[in-house]
């Protein structure tokens, strides 16, 4: 093999003047051994060392036009127990040559060799993407690493593993990337876990020697952990200041993310396909692509890290980017009627909803097949004639006449054993031979990895949307995988079935799901889709490329939602965060919260209503109308503005969030009081991000709760704060700010 003998002297890299100040750039060092990537306020630098290994050189604050950094150099052996492979911060560590830390790649070769030693081969820059090719010393395994910088301050990384040989190879572990933080101690990691009804719980803990592993083995993203991380420095990083290295994996199947602090205090984050039960056979000429792993850096704290992700999602990820459409105010009938849907009942609700200013009416579960309970009907996607004797058309026409668009619930990847579809095609359900299938909510998964199931699913969805004027699909997914069999998986080249071939289900299923969503979007460009999975079980940047919003939780309690939404916004934009006002006592917590507080809670994202409007009093209707009207005034700021989490609701009696429009001309503050204690007055709320010299008009939702002046300077709002008259239990209010001019 070619030896790499690069001089290990400091290199001075002058970045081409053309790119200075540009938001993104990929700058190769003239001798082709290192590259600096600029993404917004972040720089990232990699280089090939004297052993031909690709290593991380820098990840942090954007560097100036002239960069002086040491050239890549492998770390020495640390005693005889840790060879350079284990001590050098490799960009894509493969298991081999004594790598004892988390590998990004592990491949089994036909001659029994299970290691790889990847060496630099080539680099090219094309259409804003840097591609670095590595290859194994002896096996014909090539690995292409991709780097795509985005102006919002995010770098995408992913890999493609290729078999250039004439025999099959077995990929046993494949991550998208390894991100190496600057060597040292004193880091702290934040991550999100949860369960059904309690997603988005934020944790922060010191990074200690060892590995923090978060994952899903469930076949989808999961409620239990989300593929997002943020790492700061203990004592330095807060919501408003300090360094944060952060990222998220764009994959809606089983995934794993490790934050590893090695014995030498090198912190590395590796994420990609979950290696549990994983294998992917690469036939000659075949390749495997890993999901995008996006990451960024800011010196301005956790709040700015979230805002970078939010801006990035709006500008680069969501289906309608970069011209993001506002989320309409929706009504959804699920909590009101559950499966008891029918034409007159839904029309009655639609009429009430329209009076409140609702813009989209959504029928939830129960409209199809024999779907009267959750025991039957999934798979039979024809309108139930007893419930809608004339089809959906009269219902949709009435909704349109009321000035609303129409949406409908589907759960395309599932089947009840008690359904015509299952009776006709039992082989379409995901299962192992001779083993009893484990049911979840009385349903099984359809094996979307199968070509026939994929085509069938696309076809009925396309027909449903083509034959009816449907603006929105609530796409649900109400269980996880238990018997991930795929007996018709493509066989080996010699015609024999290899059990490992079935494991490609972990990749193929999700790719087929994405393909169906992409084809539906292409055929129906105005169609909007929500990713729901019994709440927030499938929220990630993979699905968000095809879906316009997500359902963060089935928990609609106005108080629990404050904490759920607080966690959610660390990783995802308020634009994507659907939130409904539902009835009290809440079905989960049996808590009764006043209607205004419930609205203020749901107004933090994309507002919806899910209560039984037939039971709402005239006073409820009038409160709701006022709240919907206020929401529409602040909607662009909430959905597409900059979020400031002023005070966390977790474990607190008071909390606040603020949003500012991108141009700074508008702001909105939502303030909450869970329970007043000892007669204490509500603390002044100090705003953030305003122009100190500007004057803002303060428009209060409730005149009784704000008695201050109508015009206040940004400096005063940020320094002395705004005094609100909140008292008692479950009190809350909102303030709209409109910038009117500079201070005299
Ligand atoms: C899931 C969803 C709910 C509702 C039900 C319908 O639980 O999260 O919002 O749609 O399914 O069965």
Torsion of CA 133, 139, 140, 143, to 10 degrees: -30
For residue 364, give the ligand 1 atom closest to its CA: 10
Q: Which of 172-186, 481-495, 530-544 has the lowest mean pLDDT?
A: 481-495
568: left (phi over 0), alpha (psi -120 to 50) or beta: alpha
In the block, residue with structure tokens 């966690």: 567
Predicted pLDDT of residue 493? 52
Those residues with Cβ within 8 angstroms of residue 592's Cβ, 6 or more apart along the chain or in another chain: 584, 585, 586
Beta bridge partners of 735: 669, 700
The DSSP bridge pattern shows strands 405-410 and 472-475 to be parallel
Q: Categorize the per-residue pLDDT at 4 as very low, low, confident or very high, splitting at 50, 70 and 90.
A: very low
Q: Is the beta carbon of 534 within 6 A of some atom in ligand 1? A: yes
Q: Categorize the per-residue pLDDT at 495 as very low, low, confident or very high, splitting at 50, 70 and 90.
A: low
Of all protein residues, the one whose alpha carbon is nearest to atom 3 of ligand 1 is 534
By C-alpha distance, which of 673, 669, 679 is closest to 718? 669
For residue 374, give the ligand 1 atom closest to its CA: 12
For residue 534, give the ligand 1 atom closest to its CA: 8
H or E element: which one contains 467? helix 451-467
397 Cα distance to chain centroid:
35
Q: Is the beta carbon of 532 within 6 A of some atom in ligand 1? A: yes
Q: Which of 13-17, 451-455, 717-721 has the lowest mean pLDDT?
A: 13-17
Predicted pLDDT of residue 506? 98
Q: Rounded distance, CA 337 to CA 345, Å?
A: 9
Q: Is the beta carbon of 478 within 6 A of some atom in ligand 1? A: yes
Q: If you average pLDDT over residues 143-159, what whole number do you get?
A: 98
**Angle, to 10 degrees, between the axis of helix 451-467 and the axis of helix 505-523?**
20
Question: What pLDDT digit, counting tens, does each position of 259-309 carry?
Answer: 999 989 999 999 999 999 999 999 999 999 999 999 999 999 999 999 999
Of all protein residues, the one whose alpha carbon is nearest to atom 8 of ligand 1 is 534
Q: Is the beta carbon of 580 within 6 A of some atom in ligand 1? A: no
Q: Is the beta carbon of 554 within 6 A of some atom in ligand 1? A: yes
Ligand 1: centre distance to CA 604 (Å): 21
Q: Categorize the per-residue pLDDT at 8 as very low, low, confident or very high, splitting at 50, 70 and 90.
A: very low
Q: Rounded distance, CA 530 to CA 548, Å?
A: 6
Ligand 1: centre distance to CA 582 (Å): 14
Beta bridge partners of 620: none
Those residues with Cβ within 8 angstroms of residue 245's Cβ, 6 or more apart along the chain or in another chain: 59, 60, 179, 181, 230, 231, 232, 269, 295, 296, 297
590 secondary structure, DSSP code: -
Residue 18 has pLDDT above 80, yes or no: no
Q: Rounded distance, CA 581 to CA 331, Å?
A: 9
Ligand 1: centre distance to CA 553 (Å): 10
**Angle, to 10 degrees, between the axis of helix 343-355 and the axis of helix 618-640?**
70
What average pLDDT is seen over the chain? 95
Ligand 1: centre distance to CA 563 (Å): 21
Percent of the chain with pLDDT over 70: 95
Q: Categorize the per-residue pLDDT at 598 as very low, low, confident or very high, splitting at 50, 70 and 90.
A: very high
Those residues with Cβ within 8 angstroms of residue 522's Cβ, 6 or more apart along the chain or in another chain: none
Q: Categorize the per-residue pLDDT at 152 as very low, low, confident or very high, splitting at 50, 70 and 90.
A: very high
Question: What pLDDT digit, counting tens, does each position of 87-119 carry?
Answer: 999 999 999 999 999 999 999 999 999 999 999
Q: Rounded distance, CA 548 to CA 285, Å?
A: 36
Q: Categorize the per-residue pLDDT at 647 as very low, low, confident or very high, splitting at 50, 70 and 90.
A: very high
Note if 136 is an active site residue: no
Residue 714 has pLDDT above 90, yes or no: yes
Q: Is the beta carbon of 364 within 6 A of some atom in ligand 1? A: yes
Pocket of ligand 1, candidates 478, 531, 539, 557: which has the most ligand atoms within 8 Å of its Cβ, to mutate? 478
Residue 485 has pLDDT above 90, yes or no: yes
Of all protein residues, the one whose alpha carbon is nearest to atom 9 of ligand 1 is 554
Q: Categorize the per-residue pLDDT at 494 as very low, low, confident or very high, splitting at 50, 70 and 90.
A: low
Q: Is the beta carbon of 83 within 6 A of some atom in ligand 1? A: no
Catalytic residue among 136, 554, 560, 731: 554
Q: If you average pLDDT over residues 415-436, what whole number do you get?
A: 97
Ligand 1: centre distance to CA 556 (Å): 12
Question: What pLDDT digit, counting tens, does each position of 585-594 carry?
Answer: 999 999 999 9
632 secondary structure, DSSP code: H
Cβ–Cβ < 8 Å for 258, 213: yes
Predicted pLDDT of residue 67? 67
Residue 11 has pLDDT above 90, yes or no: no
Those residues with Cβ within 8 angstroms of residue 57's Cβ, 6 or more apart along the chain or in another chain: 34, 45, 46, 47, 69, 70, 72
The secondary structure of 715-739 as a DSSP string is HHHHHT-B-----SEEEEEEEEEEE
Q: Rounded distance, CA 314 to CA 664, Å?
A: 17
Predicted pLDDT of residue 12? 40
Of all protein residues, the one whose alpha carbon is nearest to atom 11 of ligand 1 is 534
For residue 532, give the ligand 1 atom closest to its CA: 8
Ligand 1: centre distance to CA 197 (Å): 11
Residue 635 has pLDDT above 90, yes or no: yes
Cβ–Cβ < 8 Å for 252, 511: no
Q: Is the beta carbon of 409 within 6 A of some atom in ligand 1? A: yes
Of all protein residues, the one whose alpha carbon is nearest to atom 2 of ligand 1 is 534
By C-alpha distance, which of 217, 218, 214 is closest to 230? 214
Predicted pLDDT of residue 9? 35
Q: Is the beta carbon of 194 within 6 A of some atom in ligand 1? A: no
Residue 103 has a CB neighbour count (10 Å cut-off) of 23
672 phi, psi to nearest 5 deg: -130, 145
Q: How many residues does the chain have?
A: 744
Catalytic residue among 136, 365, 476, 548: 476
Pocket of ligand 1, candidates 335, 412, 534, 555: which has the most ligand atoms within 8 Å of its Cβ, to mutate? 534
Residue 744 has pLDDT above 60, yes or no: no
Cβ–Cβ < 8 Å for 179, 295: yes
Q: If you average pLDDT over residues 373-389, what whole number do you get?
A: 98
Note if 476 is an active site residue: yes
Q: Rounded distance, CA 483 to CA 437, Å?
A: 7
Of all protein residues, the one whose alpha carbon is nearest to atom 12 of ligand 1 is 365
């Amino acid at each position: 093999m070619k030896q790499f003998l690069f001089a290990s002297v400091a290199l001075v890299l002058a970045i081409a003047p053309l790119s200075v100040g540009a938001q993104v750039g990929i700058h190769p060092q003239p001798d082709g051994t290192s590259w600096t990537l600029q993404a917004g306020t972040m720089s990232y630098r990699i280089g090939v060392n004297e052993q031909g290994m690709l290593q991380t050189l820098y990840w942090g604050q954007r560097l100036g036009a002239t960069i002086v950094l040491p050239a890549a150099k492998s770390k020495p052996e640390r005693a005889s127990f840790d060879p350079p492979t284990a001590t050098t911060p490799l960009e894509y560590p493969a298991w081999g040559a004594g790598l004892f830390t988390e590998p990004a790649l592990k491949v089994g070769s036909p001659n029994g060799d299970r290691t790889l030693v990847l060496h630099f081969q080539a680099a090219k820059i094309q259409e804003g993407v840097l591609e670095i090719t590595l290859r194994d010393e002896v096996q014909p395994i090539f690995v292409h690493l991709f780097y795509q910088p985005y102006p919002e301050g995010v770098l995408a990384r992913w890999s493609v593993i290729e078999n250039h040989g004439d025999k099959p190879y077995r990929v046993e572990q494949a991550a998208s990337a390894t991100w190496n933080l600057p060597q040292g101690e004193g880091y702290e990691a934040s991550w999100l876990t949860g369960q059904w009804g309690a997603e988005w719980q934020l944790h922060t803990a010191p990074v200690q020697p060892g590995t923090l592993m978060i994952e899903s083995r469930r076949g989808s993203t999961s409620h239990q952990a989300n593929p997002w991380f943020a790492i700061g420095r203990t004592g330095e990083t807060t919501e408003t200041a300090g360094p944060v290295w952060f990222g998220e994996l764009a994959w809606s199947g089983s995934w794993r993310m490790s934050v590893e602090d090695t014995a030498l205090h090198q912190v590395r984050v590796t994420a990609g396909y979950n290696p549990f039960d994983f294998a992917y056979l690469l036939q000659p000429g075949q390749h495997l692509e890993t999901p995008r792993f996006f990451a960024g850096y800011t010196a301005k704290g956790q709040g700015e890290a979230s805002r970078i992700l939010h801006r990035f999602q709006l500008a680069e990820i969501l289906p309608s980017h970069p011209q993001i459409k506002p989320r309409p105010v929706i009504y959804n009938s699920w909590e009101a009627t559950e499966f008891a849907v029918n034409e007159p009942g839904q029309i009655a609700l639609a009429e009430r909803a329209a009076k409140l200013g609702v813009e989209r009416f959504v029928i939830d579960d129960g409209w199809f097949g024999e779907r009267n309970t959750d025991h039957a009907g999934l798979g039979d996607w024809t309108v139930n004639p007893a419930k809608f004797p004339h089809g959906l058309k009269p219902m949709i026409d009435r909704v349109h006449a009321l000035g609303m668009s129409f949406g409908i619930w589907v759960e395309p990847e599932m089947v009840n054993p008690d359904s015509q579809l299952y009776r006709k095609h039992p082989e379409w359900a995901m299962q192992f031979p001779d083993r009893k299938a484990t049911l979840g909510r009385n349903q099984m998964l359809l094996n979307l990895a199968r070509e026939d199931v994929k085509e069938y699913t696309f076809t009925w969805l396309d027909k449903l949307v083509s034959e009816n004027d449907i603006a929105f699909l609530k796409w649900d997914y109400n269980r996880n995988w238990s018997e991930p069999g795929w007996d018709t998986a493509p066989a080996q080249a010699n015609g024999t079935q290899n059990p490992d071939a079935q494991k490609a289900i972990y990749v193929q299923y999700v790719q087929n799901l994405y393909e169906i969503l992409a084809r539906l979007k292409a055929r129906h460009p105005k169609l909007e889709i929500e990713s729901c999975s019994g709440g927030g079980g499938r929220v990630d940047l993979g699905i968000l490329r095809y879906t316009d919003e997500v359902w963060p939780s089935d928990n609609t309690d106005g108080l629990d939602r404050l904490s759920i939404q607080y966690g959610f916004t660390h990783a995802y934009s308020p634009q994507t965060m659907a939130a409904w006002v539902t009835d009290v006592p809440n079905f989960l917590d049996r808590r009764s919260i006043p209607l205004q507080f419930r609205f203020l809670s749901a107004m933090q994202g994309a507002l919806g209503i899910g209560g039984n409007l037939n039971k709402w009093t005239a006073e409820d209707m009038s409160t709701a109308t006022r709240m919907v009207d206020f929401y529409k005034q602040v909607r662009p700021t909430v959905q597409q503005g900059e979020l400031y989490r002023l005070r966390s609701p977790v474990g607190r009696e008071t909390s606040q969030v603020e949003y500012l429009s991108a141009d700074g001309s508008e702001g909105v503050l939502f303030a909450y009081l869970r329970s007043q204690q000892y007669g204490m007055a509500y603390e002044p709320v100090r705003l953030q991000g305003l122009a100190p010299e500007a004057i803002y008009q303060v428009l209060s939702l409730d005149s009784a709760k704000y008695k201050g002046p109508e015009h206040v300077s940004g400096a005063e709002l940020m320094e002395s704060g705004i005094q609100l008259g909140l008292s008692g239990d479950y009190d809350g209010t909102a303030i709209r700010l409109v910038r009117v001019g500079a201070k005299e």
